[in-house]
Amino acid sequence: MTTAHPHEPHAGSDMFDNVIVGVADRETGRDALALALQLASRDRPLTLAYVQAVLPKPGPDAGARSLAADRRRALERLAPLKDRSPDSRLVCVEADSVGGGLHELARRHEADLLVIGASRRDDYERLFLGDDTRALLEDAPCPVAVAPIGYAARPPVIENVGAAYDGSTESRRALAVAQLLGRELGAHVSAFEAIPVPVDAHDPANPQPEIDRDIEQARRRMATLGDVEPQAAAGDPEEEIKRYATSVDLLVVGPHRYRPVDHLTSGSLAQRLGDRTPCALLVLR
């Protein structure tokens, strides 16, 4: 990578140096910690963070006692995770929301990576209770890595790193980070481009020749990007990227500027991938 973003790994670094691991519960905490241990620099301690949502209390004394008890219970939940990473720091913060608390903690500590576990809530629960994973991926102050459900039980190695690519500046950044992580981890690197199915094909009854042509052109474009395996497929971009994600251990996605329409729909691509990502996901800032 010729130039490094201030919140991304850069040439000469040992991946991510200042990593915060968001711990919502024991299961998601184990998944997030397993991913953080693979991405973080070997000689830098992790920060294990639990956010205690602060709700209105009946009185100042009762509120103080309740928060103190919540803090003790949170630190007790973090203790087993610390056994897996003895040098880690334990932090319990109070905030209006999990997303807001972790974002503020990342800003305060100038973190260069925030690692979380994927949400275990179904669509019904998300509708009424919200989704911490989606909230954390929205305008985060640093890159966010999402560990899929059950990640702690997987082999502790990243052998294949992929990047979602479409030729944009954001996707070139994603590929550059994927290539750097590939070198650091000794992993194979590939780039994937989803090709839209042509709506104005010369022969609408048989668009396959034009699809094959577009796919071949995409692979040729990516073949000039360096030491990376070019892959492409035609279809709905989100579905094709999800299918591609099943073939890699870590998928790097470029940054996305959130628009008002994202709140009216099902969120950005990164947020939808984070809901049920089949592999570890790294979303750049």
Examine the pLDDT at 9 and tell me if it is beyond 60: no
Q: How far apart are CA 56 and CA 64, in angstroms?
A: 11
| pLDDT for the residue 98 | 83
Q: Pick the closest to residue 283 from 156, 150, 166, 134 (CA basis).
A: 134
Q: How far apart are CA 118 and CA 232, in angstroms?
A: 27
Cβ-contact 162, 192 below 8 angstroms = yes
Q: Do residues 42 and 142 share a domain?
A: yes
| pLDDT for the residue 5 | 53
Q: Is residue 6 part of a domain?
A: no
Q: Do residues 95 and 180 share a domain?
A: no
Measured in residues, the chain has a length of 285
Q: How many domains does the chain have?
A: 2
Q: Do residues 137 and 181 share a domain?
A: no
| pLDDT for the residue 264 | 43
Q: Do residues 148 and 205 share a domain?
A: no
CATH code of the domain containing 177 = 3.40.50.620
| pLDDT for the residue 41 | 87
111-122 pLDDT, tens digit per residue, is 999 999 987 655
Picking from 122, 153, 184, the residue at the C-terminal end of a domain is 153
Cβ-contact 119, 146 below 8 angstroms = no
| pLDDT for the residue 1 | 38
Q: Is residue 138 part of a domain?
A: yes
Q: How far apart are CA 102 and CA 44, in angstroms?
A: 19
Instruction: Residue 127: give the domain boundaries.
Output: 19-153
Give the distance from CA 7 to its chain's centroid: 14
> Which of 2-6, 42-46, 138-142 has the least mean pLDDT?
2-6
Average pLDDT over residues 56-68: 56
As a whole number, the mean pLDDT across the chain is 80
Q: Do residues 177 and 117 share a domain?
A: no
What is the amino acid identity at position 27? E
> Which of 70-84, 109-123, 186-200, 242-256 has the least mean pLDDT?
70-84
Q: Do residues 173 and 213 share a domain?
A: yes
Examine the pLDDT at 56 and tell me if it is beyond 60: no
Examine the pLDDT at 61 and tell me if it is beyond 70: no
Q: Do residues 139 and 225 share a domain?
A: no
Picking from 97, 128, 153, the residue at the C-terminal end of a domain is 153
> Which of 21-35, 37-51, 80-94, 258-272 has the least mean pLDDT?
258-272
Picking from 153, 173, 207, the residue at the C-terminal end of a domain is 153
Cβ-contact 16, 9 below 8 angstroms = yes
Cβ-contact 107, 141 below 8 angstroms = yes
Examine the pLDDT at 211 and tell me if it is beyond 80: yes
Q: Do residues 147 and 205 share a domain?
A: no
Examine the pLDDT at 11 and tell me if it is beyond 50: no
